[in-house]
Amino acid sequence: MLSININLIIAFTLALIGVLIYRSHLISTLLCLEGIILSLFILITLLITHFHIFSISITPLILLVFSACEAGVGLALLVKISTTHGNDYVQNLNLLQC
């Protein structure tokens, strides 16, 4: 395995851990989500150019488009939360807690 792939896989894993473990701010989850998408994008592009599989070249572009949509949705949720609560602390999200 090439060393750049290992770098990118480590970046992906760190961003994933960042999504799953967060302390107080919701925006850190969203940031790490962007990190996952970015590392995935670069991984797929390197795969295409390394193995010369140009027929799936459109795939990273589609990934980018969908990530943009999802980032938009995440930010809209964030805006709504900070409108109601005034901050983005995750301990405010306890409406369904019994």
Least gap, CB of 26 to other proteins (angstroms)? 10
SS3 31: helix
User: Distance (Å, rounded) from C-alpha 54 to C-alpha 71?
Assistant: 28
Q: Is the distance from CB of 24 to CB of 15 less than 8 angstroms?
A: no
Least gap, CB of 29 to other proteins (angstroms)? 9
Contact set with other proteins (CB under 8 A): 16-17, 19-22, 90, 93-94, 96-98
User: Distance (Å, rounded) from C-alpha 39 to C-alpha 4?
Assistant: 11
- 9 or 65, CB closer to other proteins? 9
- 27 or 48, CB closer to other proteins? 27
Type of residue at 35? G
- 21 or 79, CB closer to other proteins? 21
- 48 or 90, CB closer to other proteins? 90
Least gap, CB of 20 to other proteins (angstroms)? 4
Other Cβ atoms less than 10 A from the Cβ of 26: the count is 19
